[in-house]
């Protein structure tokens, strides 16, 4: 069993404690905050960034940090939105979004490895 030293407790659990306090405060103000509807809205909004978050988590676990993920995500989203506005079928827009993100990520990886630039 993992033991947590008292001096490390604050550093280890600060964000969790802040989250609990915030949710408790909002629930106190708005009694319908903690509900199935709210959970559904949070999950629906989180689904958009989930693939990016999973990929970034793997990079951080590997001991690197990659700030370019946000830029690649933005380029993919903006170009996909432009295609959707021009009437391109949604299936093709989704394929484009995945493809452009993969290509830019691959090129970013090649540049990072070739020139030994820290991610």
Comparing 20-34, 46-60, 68-82, the range with the smallest average pLDDT is 46-60
Contacts 24+ apart (CB under 8 A), 47-52: 49/73
The domain in which residue 42 lies consists of 1-47
Q: Per the confidence metrics, is the pTM higher than 0.85? A: no
Confidence of residue 7 (pLDDT cuts 50, 70, 90): low
Task: Inform me whether the pLDDT recorded for 3 exceeds 70.
Answer: no
On whether both 66 and 109 belong to a single domain, the answer is yes
On whether both 83 and 116 belong to a single domain, the answer is yes
Question: Between the ranges 32-41, 44-53, 54-63, where is the mean pLDDT highest?
Answer: 32-41
On whether both 95 and 117 belong to a single domain, the answer is yes
Place of tokens 């629906």: 44
Task: Inform me whether the pLDDT recorded for 2 exceeds 80.
Answer: no
Percent of the chain with pLDDT over 70: 92
On whether both 37 and 6 belong to a single domain, the answer is yes
Say how many domains are in the chain: 2
On whether both 43 and 61 belong to a single domain, the answer is no
On whether both 29 and 83 belong to a single domain, the answer is no
pLDDT digits (tens, 9 = 90+) for 73-104: 899 999 999 999 999 999 999 999 999 999 99
pLDDT value, residue 4: 60
Helical segments of 1-119, H only: 6-29, 36-46, 50-61, 68-85, 90-114
On whether both 36 and 14 belong to a single domain, the answer is yes
- Tell me the mean pLDDT in the region 11-22: 86
């Amino acid at each position: 069993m993992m033991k947590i030293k008292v001096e490390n407790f604050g550093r280890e659990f600060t964000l969790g404690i802040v989250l609990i306090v915030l949710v408790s405060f909002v629930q106190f103000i708005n009694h319908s905050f903690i509900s199935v509807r709210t959970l559904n809205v949070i999950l629906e909004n989180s689904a958009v960034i989930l693939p990016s978050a999973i990929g970034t988590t793997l990079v951080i676990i590997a001991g690197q940090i990659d700030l370019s993920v946000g830029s690649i995500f933005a380029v993919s989203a903006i170009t996909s939105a432009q295609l959707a506005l021009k009437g391109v079928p949604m299936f093709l827009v989704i394929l484009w979004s995945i493809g452009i993100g993969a290509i830019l990520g691959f090129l970013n990886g090649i540049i990072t490895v070739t020139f030994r630039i820290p991610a």
